[in-house]
Structure 1
Amino acid sequence: MENLLTDRAFWVKYWESKTDLAVPIPDDYLFHSELASLIQSQNVQTAIELGGFPGYYAVFLKRYFNLDVTLLDYFIHEPVTRALLEANGLGVHDIAVIETDLFSYKPEKQYDLVLSCGLIEHFKDTADIIQRHIDFVRPGGSLMITLPNFRALNGWFQKRFDKENYDKHNIDCMDPQLLRQICERAGLDVVQSRYYGHFSLWLENEKEKPATVRLLKKTLWFAGKVFTKVLPFNSRALSPYIMLEARKPA
């Protein structure tokens, strides 16, 4: 596990600091357009969300596309996941759950869609963690990975005002060209690897930050939103996310 930038204690503390986790997932959830297009064009029937506790995207895929969905993470707190399912009109058996270490688990099946959102940046060896995603993709299936772009203004803000959280991320992997090269070397056909989103700014546990930091964040957030409303474009400097989509040859 030397490849990991976090440990179980970090994630226990992280999730225990969160409140109101059991919320209804809207149909316009982040990345909804790209997921809808992929599912429809590739006739996706089965999907797995890796590292996704409490399972927001697993719930999204089940609720709005009725996919056969699995959630895999090495930290699962069952009452939270159950409450999230109930908040979205789903039962405990509507999503399969696997609590395991991704580095010791051998996939028992492969899926039409393998998805992770905010996972690979917590590992030092980017090629290795992506290959572990690829192992779950069936021939002809799709891989979608999203991650934050801390090379942007948001990253500067994280580093300046939440260094502990910033240091839990592999900044080097936040490079669309690197992700493209890794997938191509692994034999995948890359559909897109790009910066995503016009602008956003956030802090973990923002309510605990000093008032001056919260005010600065609010000011920068507003200014950035206004600027990108007038000039909407994706860029390394401002986009808050990176998106990778690739296919495994049939």
Structure 2
Amino acid sequence: MNNLLTDRAFWVNYWERKSGLSINVPADYLFHKELGTIIKEQQVQTAIELGGFPGYYAVFLKKYFKLDVTLLDYFIHPPITQSLLAANGLGDQDIKVIETDLFKYVPEQQYDLVLSCGLIEHFVDTADIIKRHINFVKPGGSLFITLPNFNALNGWFQKQFDPENYKIHNISCMDPALLAGICRQAGLEVVRAGYYGHFSIWLEDEKNKPAMVKLFKKAVWTAGKVFTKVFPFNSKQLSPYIILEARKPKG
């Protein structure tokens, strides 16, 4: 079975359609608290972001924590990454960039922190893609993976109003217990595996969706935000993300 739910041509087209990619990455970027805790408690010095083009988390880690950072992806468009670095006061030499196929690449080094945000759900074989992450983790190092939770209301929105986007996601991997089990079988200590965020919904390329869809989405988003502000909790039904954090034994 083909393990890929997308191909390189898909990602080239995806990123070429995007505009406004060179953002100033803020200090409170998504998952900043979790990453900050790992870096402080584990005394992280080196990190690699897998599948992270254009490199928002690589930039975040370099800009705010001064880590030795590498970005690895199947598709890299240097002008976009260079523009992103410049927008954050960084230069071309501040982040190492590797453009390669993760399924053919043999890690030349291991890292204190290996992270991916929104990568593993694009593959059929979840255990295989996670094990490829683990190959980059130094003994005693940390693995940090996040992915969308399309088993929540947000997934229903994707399926109803953006089925093309929905079908390139492996819904079955969006299960914290499954992810934790894969890590334990690989010999890692699972620090956390669970749902993250009280509520959110989004649509890719929302500006080009029909007006009624955008209005409906806004109404549901507002109602959900009000409800979870009064009753804040993480849940399979409403949380937009899943977080997996694990640690490799020191050996």
Shorter-chain TM-score above 0.5: yes
Where in structure 1 are there 5+ consecutive unaligned residues?
none
Q: Would you say the 8 A contact 1:70–1:96 is kept in 2?
A: yes
In the alignment, the residues of structure 2 paired with residue 178 and residue 233 of structure 1 have an alpha-carbon distance, to the nearest angstrom, of 21
Name the residue aligned to 2:220. Answer: 220
Where in structure 2 are there 5+ consecutive unaligned residues?
none
The alignment partner of 1:201 has SS state of coil
- Range moving further from structure 2, 1-10 or 129-138: 1-10
What are the within-5 Å matches in structure 2 for residues 70-109 of structure 1?
70-109=70-109
Matched, 1:62 2:50: no
* TM-score when normalising by structure 2: 0.99
Name the residue aligned to 2:13. Answer: 13
Q: Which string of whole-angstrom CA distances, capped at 9 and with x for unpartnered residues, describes residues 74-105 of structure 1?
A: 10000000000000000000000000000000
C-alpha RMSD over aligned residues: 0.6
Structure 2 residue identity aligned to 1:232: P
Q: Which string of whole-angstrom CA distances, capped at 9 and with x for unpartnered residues, describes residues 6-37 of structure 1?
A: 00111111111111100100000000000000
Structure 1 residue identity aligned to 2:42: Q
Alpha-carbon distance, 1:150 to partner:
0.1
The alignment partner of 1:115 has SS state of strand
What are the within-5 Å matches in structure 2 for residues 87-166 of structure 1?
87-166=87-166
Matched, 1:26 2:20: no
The alignment partner of 1:103 has SS state of coil
Matched, 1:186 2:186: yes
Extract structure 1 runs of 4+ deviating beyond 3 A: none
Of all paired residues, the percent bearing the same amino acid is 74
The alignment partner of 1:101 has SS state of coil
* TM-score when normalising by structure 1: 0.99
How many residue pairs align between the two structures?
250
The alignment partner of 1:38 has SS state of helix
In the alignment, the residues of structure 2 paired with residue 23 and residue 241 of structure 1 have an alpha-carbon distance, to the nearest angstrom, of 22
In the alignment, the residues of structure 1 paired with residue 92 and residue 76 of structure 2 have an alpha-carbon distance, to the nearest angstrom, of 14
Q: Which string of whole-angstrom CA distances, capped at 9 and with x for unpartnered residues, describes residues 121-167 of structure 1?
A: 00000000000000000000000000000000000000000000000
